[in-house]
């Protein structure tokens, strides 16, 4: 497993720093899931039902949810737009076992590319202070793009910790 990640910059403007951390964490998940087959991506550490394949699909969903649905006010990307969320609130996690490694990686990469396109457009038109199209259902407040970026970094950092443990249990591979 070769580490091809680029460290976030140590002396850059706010946008470059935030994007650097987000890209680093995206690449960390790619690194932690690289070279694994379907059985390995479906491996779990009991009692948790979390898997590396589930992490790929969940974080693809999170990307679509925050950048497309919340920030832009658009529909979720396929397959999340037609999932039966009422029947299975954890559909992104539970359905991953039925997807091939190629499908999971392609879905993740598509979600990241779509998010980056939204991010590029928003940064060119208002920057980090731009407000989301959708508001918080509890407070009615809209999120800034800055908040969304920080939240995504936090989401990835937490789940990459899970990915570390899962990958080590599969083949002993460790690393930041």
Domain ranges of the chain: 14-171
119 and 67 Cβ atoms separated by less than 8 Å: yes
98 and 42 Cβ atoms separated by less than 8 Å: no
The predicted pLDDT at position 68 comes to 97
Closest residue by Cα to residue 157 from 39, 53, 62, 71: 62
107-165 pLDDT, tens per residue? 999 999 999 999 999 999 999 999 999 999 999 999 999 999 999 999 999 999 999 99
Q: How confident is the model at residue 1 (pLDDT cuts 50, 70, 90)?
A: low
pTM above the 0.75 mark?
Answer: yes
Q: Is the dihedral of CA 70, 72, 77, 83 positive or negative?
A: positive
CATH class of 14-171: mainly alpha
């Amino acid at each position: 497993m070769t580490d091809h990640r680029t460290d976030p910059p140590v002396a850059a403007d706010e946008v470059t720093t935030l994007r650097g951390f987000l890209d680093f964490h995206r690449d960390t998940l790619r690194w932690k899931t690289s070279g694994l087959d379907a059985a390995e991506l479906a491996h779990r550490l009991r009692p948790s039902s979390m898997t590396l394949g589930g992490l790929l699909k969940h974080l693809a969903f999170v990307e679509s949810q925050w950048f497309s649905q919340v920030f832009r006010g658009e529909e979720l990307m396929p397959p999340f737009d037609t999932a039966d969320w009422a029947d299975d609130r954890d559909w992104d996690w539970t359905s991953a076992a039925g997807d091939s490694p190629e499908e999971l990686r392609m879905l993740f990469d598509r979600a990241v590319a779509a998010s980056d396109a939204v991010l590029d457009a928003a940064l060119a038109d208002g920057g980090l202070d731009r407000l989301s199209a959708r508001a918080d259902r509890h407070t009615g407040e809209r999120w800034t793009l800055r908040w969304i970026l920080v939240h995504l970094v936090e989401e990835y950092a937490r789940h990459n910790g899970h990915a570390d443990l899962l990958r080590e249990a599969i083949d002993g591979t460790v690393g930041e």
